[in-house]
Structure 1
Amino acid sequence: MDAASLTLLSGLLHILCIQPVLCNGCHQVRQGCCVQCNPGYLLSKKCGRCIPCPVTGYTDKPNDKPFCQHCQRCEGIFHYVERCTPTRNAACTCMPGMRCTDDKCSQCETDRCSAGEELVGQNCNECPPGTFNTGAEHTCKAWKDCSALGGIIVTNGSRTSDVVCGEYNTKVTQSPGASEVPTTTTRVRLLSGPSPVGNHLQVIYIVVSAAAVLLLAVICVLCRQELTARIKQVFQRIKQAEEEESCECRSPVQEGGEESQPMTLEA
């Protein structure tokens, strides 16, 4: 057998020896031993075999570790975006009303952004031009349209405040002297459009009115029950008095239960 045949035979034997190891999750073989496992496996020995990660663990790249990384758990204020797999960690997000503080969502905070910002996804972005947020809302709102209110802009809006609208009020006054020049006075009257504060006051007014009506209804029911009870007592007393009066009008019963004998004259 020539040298070429020996080399080919040696190569075939080497492949036959290594193939079962590679098929067992092994990523790299050295001198017939597995020294590195595929993602999703752990190495049980230095020259051993690769074992799949448990359901609570994962490995996301080839490794020679005798353990798997622990899967992240999304509990409490966290919700699952992706479940853990043998080759990928779980992905979490925050419950509604809260947002993640970093890319890994290791912590949550309330989703209310600072003044001049609005929540877009999980991030706080600046209000677009022409809108504002005082910090009390989740989204930015458009500035008031002063022309639609029949006024002019008195104060420009910003990302944190609304436009202030107003209108000119011109008054001409004549001095007592005929030769005096009339005096013109111009004032600006502010115009108020719909605002969140007004809406909140309206809601409070409705709630207070409903509570007052409910309280009045409860008082009326209690008064009616008290009046009914008193009327019943009066009727019972009248009935009792009538019964006592009827008893007094009857003839008295004789003592001993004996009937009276008629009187006779002795002979």
Structure 2
Amino acid sequence: MRLVDFKVAVCMVNVILLHSGLSYSCGRAEYEIDGECCPMCPSGTHVYKHCTEYTNTTCVQCIGKTFIDEPNGLPSCRPCKVCHAGLLSLKVDRECTPSSDTVCGPLAQHYCIEPHEKGCGLAQRHTVCKPGQFIKQNGTAFTDTICEECPDNTFSDGLSTSCKPHTICQSLGLIQRKKGNQFTDSECREHEVHVGLILGGMFGLLLLCSSTGVLIFILHRKKRRKQNPETQPKEEETMIQQPQDGGEGETIKG
């Protein structure tokens, strides 16, 4: 059967159905335009010219940032979705193609709060744990971060997955200057030494050094005298004058 005869037959069937009160619809792979049933264009293309009695539907490919992801009878393609970073906190997970729309996902450190089968419509920043809390569960692209309070005698800056125990100053031989809390560690200091004790000790040490020096000097002098007896002072010579008859006395060296 020629195409003209087929079109005429279809038209006659439509007229008969119309007058008989019955309705007629185009097939699943067709679309209706001006009473005609035209073949649809495939995904990734749109209708450039509708079919006629003598010609088939003319289709052209989607260009630019446009797409159609199903068979259609549309005169133009749909615009691709834009993943707004500032407005919606989204990024492009998959680029748009002629036959598929852009797929958006949450930015880093964000999670999707409006998920759908074709990506994400809106995202929100992960909760940031505060000092005194720890990260019980890290956030993902579709779940928020879960924070939990630090238990007693521990602390955290909020950036860790666990809390640290407070420093025990006594175990380090130190004195606790400030008690720790959920946010900060304990502060320790060294033992204080009394100034009077320091000065007394220094004076005693100085006195001891002085006494030791004098004693060493005395012992050293005595030792030198024993080793060099000629250095001892000589006994003074005594002059004894004995009288003699009729003359001068005689000098006797004692």
Smaller-chain TM-score bracket: 0.3 to 0.5
Higher helix share: 1
The normalised TM-score by structure 2 is: 0.38
Higher relative contact order (CA closer than 8 Å, sequence separation 6+) = 2
